[in-house]
Structure 1
Amino acid sequence: MTLRHIRIFWEVCQQGNSITRAAHSLYMTQPAVSQAIRELEEHYGLRLFERYSRRLYITPAGQRLYQHAGQLLQQVERMEKSLQSDEDGGPLRVGATVTIGSQFLPCYVDAFHSLHPQTRVQVRVNPGDTLEQQLLHNQLDLALIESGVSAPELLAEAYLEDTLIAVCAPGRPFASGQTVTLEQLRGQNFLLREKGSAARKAFDAAALAAGLSVEPAWEATSTTALVNAAVHGLGIAVLPRHMLLGPLERGIIAAFQVPELDLRRRYWIVYHKDKFLTTAARDFIALCKSYEQEHPAPHYNGLY
């Protein structure tokens, strides 16, 4: 006896004890419906219907089964709705590297709550290497990372383009919008993120490709420390553009152009190749991919 048998029996009863109407409602053949009823009767060793002159009459045993079948199918329906909604499936566990976690992720989560108000989003902001390990050990459902991943078990989808920019105190040594050559950069004090960070990896790769050798004067995990150092004229900071919107708008730092340095990069949505993505996870991924298009002027706060 299976749930299929119960559904067929229930539909026969609902259709006035009619095999023909039940078959039509279930998109089945009449012989298939009749066979399911016979199998159910054989399983319980009871007559569920009496058959007179090609008509069915439900028996007392059939009446009892009909009552229980209705309750059972209602419970199954509630169970399926609960599972399909993801609302009771636990939190959505999202990781992010520092730039994304600081500037982008709060916007994504805020917009996501309007789609899934009952789904709790659990966030972890960590370096990319840490996020990789958390994905590999099923401690995260997905992660938003500023650089690619190395583990072959992880899938990475590019979803957004961004760029690093070079900034300093206005006129110390360069003015806002000024075009600067590599030769002018040589010997300058650089204020950079720590080794291993996504921003540092991107800068080091661009500098190497351009033939620029840099020994940073400052290295820090804190963007705030580097921006404040730049504000005080202590050197040139190279940081993600979105992290600098606030101080740029206030005019306390100046961005300048270095055409010989390619500082463009991509952000990635990463998850385990064997991970089952719930409806909530798939919706979150789709939201991240479409956020810039649907929000032409995203309200990134520009804090640093």
Structure 2
Amino acid sequence: MTLRHMRIFVEVCRTMNITRAAENLYLSQPAVSLAISELEDYYGIALFDRIGRRIYITEAGKNFLSYAQHITSTFDEMETGIKNWDYFGTLRVGASISLGIRLLPQIVKAFSQSFPGIKIPVIVNSSETIEAKILNNEIDIALCEGLIHSPDIITEPFYEDRLVVLCSAHHPLAKKDRLTLEDIVREPLLMRELGSGTREIFENFMTAHQIQVEPLWQSSSTRAIVSAVEANIGISVLPYELVKDDILQGEVQLLQIPDMAFRRTCHLVYHRSKYLTRSAQAFLKQCHLSAGLLSQQRQQELQAAEQERRRRAAGQ
């Protein structure tokens, strides 16, 4: 079997349509159909089920797709690597939402100063979606704070994020110095959507303490949640980096809960079959450098926020 067969198969899987795949590859429809038939005959398996005018990938086809994607990807990386891809090429980057908002722009800006010829298309989405795109070879490297489930993905810790509990500055809990987890669950909870790394980590933490979580609100928009917290509709648990401006401006109050003063480890992730070019390795190094600077800045900001909270509490 040839690389051409692999490319045709991958494109048919991407479009799930023989005609569209043929158009994208500038081939005739019979040529695409023949290539798929040759693959099936050669390996003695059915890659697709044909039902009516539609095709559906089989389990064997899904297994073969995993190999085909990385065979074609590795070949492309070899080709571009020989052509000095380290200085003029593309590095596809993904990030979960909290890391994509605060940390990734700093990393890309610093990296681009050393590698101005590298184009960096970015996808920011939930950790669950980012993981799927890594597996489908749509992203080369990603920054994720959520849990990674696939054994085919390498996870490299690079940053410790902190989740904080927030309430309105006018909420009764804002006046208390020390709270418990029970104080939190008695309040209406405003949470990120299912599939979010923040939501998954928080629920796992509460489950470990035998506490059931039933959110009043669920939203993929952090701004919608913060606005609801400001309106005193409920309390929320969010990454500090996404809400630090609101905290420092006094729009919301950071609650002190000793049992919940936990951090989560954020990871750099990439497929274990991914060939890392010199520029990709430099990008990983820049991620570590930028994360270290952000951690120092966060510590100073949290100390300032706590001092301000105590000052306001004393004034009341």
Q: What is the SS of the residue equivalent to 2:172? A: coil
Q: How does 1:123-272 map to 2 (within 5 A)?
A: 123-175=122-174, 178-261=177-260, 263-272=262-271
> Are the structure 2 counterparts of residues 262 and 196 from structure 1 closer, same or farther at C-alpha, using a change threshold of 3 Å?
farther
> Are the structure 2 counterparts of residues 242 and 177 from structure 1 closer, same or farther at C-alpha, using a change threshold of 3 Å?
farther
Give 1:106 deviation, angstroms.
Answer: 0.6
Letter in 2 for 1:107: Q
Following TM superposition, the consecutive aligned residue runs of length 4 or more in structure 1 with deviations greater than 3 angstroms are 79-85, 292-298
Letter in 2 for 1:161: E
Contact 2:166–2:252 (CA under 8 A) maintained in structure 1: yes
Instruction: Mark the structure with the bigger radius of gyration.
Output: 1
CA distance in 1, matches of 2:198, 2:185: 20
Letter in 2 for 1:205: N
CA distance in 2, matches of 1:244, 1:165: 9
Give 1:114 deviation, angstroms.
Answer: 0.8
> Are the structure 2 counterparts of residues 294 and 235 from structure 1 closer, same or farther at C-alpha, using a change threshold of 3 Å?
closer
- Does residue 280 of structure 2 align to residue 281 of structure 1? yes
- Does residue 89 of structure 2 align to residue 83 of structure 1? no
- The percent identity for this pair of structures is 33
Q: What is the SS of the residue equivalent to 2:173? A: coil
What's the C-alpha RMSD, in Å, of the aligned pairs?
2.2
Report the counterpart of residue 297 of structure 1 in structure 2: 297
Superimposed CA distance per residue, residues 181-201 of structure 1 (whole angstroms, 9 cap, x where no aligned partner): 123224211111011210000
Give 1:256 deviation, angstroms.
Answer: 0.7
CA distance in 2, matches of 1:81, 1:140: 17
Structure 2, unmatched stretches of 5+, are: 1-78, 299-316
CA distance in 2, matches of 1:239, 1:248: 12
CA distance in 1, matches of 2:253, 2:202: 18
> Are the structure 2 counterparts of residues 228 and 209 from structure 1 closer, same or farther at C-alpha, using a change threshold of 3 Å?
same
TM-score by length of 1: 0.67
Letter in 1 for 2:290: Y
Give 1:176 deviation, angstroms.
Answer: 6.5
Give 1:262 deviation, angstroms.
Answer: 5.1
Letter in 1 for 2:226: V
Structure 1, unmatched stretches of 5+, are: 1-78, 299-304
Superimposed CA distance per residue, residues 97-150 of structure 1 (whole angstroms, 9 cap, x where no aligned partner): 110111111111011111101111110112222212211222111111112311
Contact 1:148–1:268 (CA under 8 A) maintained in structure 2: no
Give 1:178 deviation, angstroms.
Answer: 2.5
Letter in 1 for 2:143: L
CA distance in 2, matches of 1:231, 1:81: 51
> Are the structure 2 counterparts of residues 216 and 87 from structure 1 closer, same or farther at C-alpha, using a change threshold of 3 Å?
same
